[in-house]
Structure 1
């Protein structure tokens, strides 16, 4: 009975994380596309500006470029960890825990890194509504993904004792 409740909680968290990682990846893709379309155009007759950054985004503040890049990476890795997580929920044994756990841990650490840049971006202010949405989802994902890691570890260790 405990096995089924842990599986249900893990499945719910996986669906939630999948939706949020998908939204973070979508907004991050939009921001990256906009940065490419509206970025600097440096030709042979132009000189680099004094404070040129190769991670330039026309919206947001100085932390936006780093936040978008790491959130996009965390979103893609998070989506792949959710796929491994669904496989683990399907089998729910100690053999499927390793891949799901390692993928989830890597995605969580990348999400924490993106969350750090989100906090810096919030501190510097001057950003649009899409970036605020992406910041909120990244901060929420850092908690829900950690909760998912705890649930899969707790559920498998309990079910292996029985």
Structure 2
């Protein structure tokens, strides 16, 4: 197997999935935040409870940072060297951290709090909650794939230079 071909073959489809997930996440969070700010909390597709506004803000931030991470991931996929690996890994760690914070960090669990508080949660809000969970898992897989080169050079450029 050629140098770094294993990770490169897996990274393209994973980045494509991540880009679709983050675009849907940004779209749903942006629409919901717009409706929420306009005072349409009783919209049949929105609903919510007191934690909804925080969920929407963090979901929008996580989606934008995730989209930037995907952009740097595609740049790394194109260049495939140590320098691009560093920038792709850094942005992936930050993106995963913010997404994990939006889903359910140690103290500040937004999606988890949103679900446990209950109340009327519309279909789009439930879909947003699901996409936050999906984006967290897919970003973690992408992050693990970026770090796989630490264990075998067949997965990509190594950190040693």
Matches within 5 A, 1:125-140: 125=118, 126-140=120-134
CA offset digits 1:124-152 (Å, max 9, x no partner)? 12211101111111111111101101101
> 123, 130, 138: which one pairs with 2:116?
123
Structure 1 residue 4: Cα displacement: 2.1
CA offset digits 1:84-109 (Å, max 9, x no partner)? 00001111111111110111111110
Partners of 1:98 and 1:160 in 2: CA distance: 10
In the other structure, the counterpart of 2:64 is: 76
Contact 2:85/2:157 (<8 A) preserved = no
Matches within 5 A, 1:5-154: 5-38=6-39, 59-116=47-104, 117-125=110-118, 126-154=120-148
Contact 1:7/1:155 (<8 A) preserved = no
In structure 1, the gaps of 5 or more residues are 40-56
In structure 2, the gaps of 5 or more residues are 105-109
Contact 1:6/1:151 (<8 A) preserved = yes
* 3-state secondary structure, aligned to 2:50: coil
Structure 1 residue 69: Cα displacement: 0.4
Structure 1 residue 160: Cα displacement: 4.3
Contact 2:80/2:157 (<8 A) preserved = no
Structure 1 runs (4+) greater than 3 angstroms displaced: none
Q: Determine which structure has more spread, i.e. the larger CA radius of gyration.
A: 1
* 3-state secondary structure, aligned to 1:113: helix
Contact 1:115/1:138 (<8 A) preserved = yes
Please give the root-mean-square deviation of Cα atoms over the aligned residues, in Å: 1.7
TM value normalised by structure 1: 0.82
